[in-house]
Amino acid sequence: MVSMTSSHTMQYIGLLLLAAILLQTIAVAVTFIYFSNVLSTMKETFSKSSVSCLMRANLRTIKGQELNGAEGKDDPCWQVTQQLHFLIEKSMSSRYQKEITSAVKDQEDSSRPKIAAHVTGSYTPESEKDGAGLPNRKVYGQKIQSWESEKGLAFLQNVELSDGELVVPQAGLYYIYSQTYFRHTLIEEDESAREDEYGSMGESVRGKPMLQYVYKKVSSYQVPILLMKNARTTCWSRDSEYGLYSIYQAGLFQLGSGDRVFVTVSNVSTIDMDEKSSFFGAFLVS
């Protein structure tokens, strides 16, 4: 009798445990399903809100809210559009920066080397002038050889200066210019001769003609080719110790690789070789 009672008690306890486990399982399942539905609903709502914030109609509203200050910042759409705006701005800025850097690098790599020269007058001791600038039967005038290429205003950039001649390294169209400053002094012999010719009562005397030439040398032709020339004949007062006159000329010329350019004048000894008064140069145009 006691044995049967114990058996029924054990069965009853087992049923209670089974029922408790079943109820707990059902509760967990219901809770999981509930929260899953809630998360899904929130995700869908947020997605729809984000997409709707990008629509034109909502963007106009958001723009008005943004102008209203703090009221606009409380709107979720305003936050979405602001984040999107910052993301786009950052992406575009990075892209443009890369493109600009690449373009500048390509331009530097493909750019033509700078070719230019500006040489200026240089005072040379008399002992170094012996034999310099002597007349050449192939050209008019006397070549100026004492050009300064490094000091003061003078410079050479991918151009060589040799024996008073600029040597260009590359074929192309060059702008060539030259200015020479003449200082003519009235010596007694010339003054006496002019008095005999024009009479002692003349108030002025006629100066000697001043000429400037610009030549180029090419390897295929032995005789230098005249590019430009300019001349002046002036008068100055009989009471003046000297007369000052300048000649300037310039032009565009096609030069080949290795061509040489130089300047000659009617009389080298009359040139005032100051760097701001007498100079010569060339640079590549195209």
Quick one: which of 211, 210, 192 has its CA closest to 202? 192
Strand duo 279-284 + 116-121: pairing: antiparallel
The alpha helices in 111-243, defined as continuous H runs, are: 188-198
Q: How far apart are CA 73 and CA 64, in angstroms?
A: 11
How many helices (H) and strands (E) the chain has is answered by: 5, 14
Positive or negative, the Cα torsion across 97, 102, 107, 109?
positive
Pairing of strands 160-162, 165-167: antiparallel
235 is in an annotated binding site: yes
Q: Retrieve residue 191's tokens.
A: 């003054």
Q: Are 252 and 174 in contact (CB under 8 A)?
A: yes
Q: Give the residue numbers of the binding site for Zn(2+).
A: 235
Q: Give the residue numbers of the binding site.
A: 235
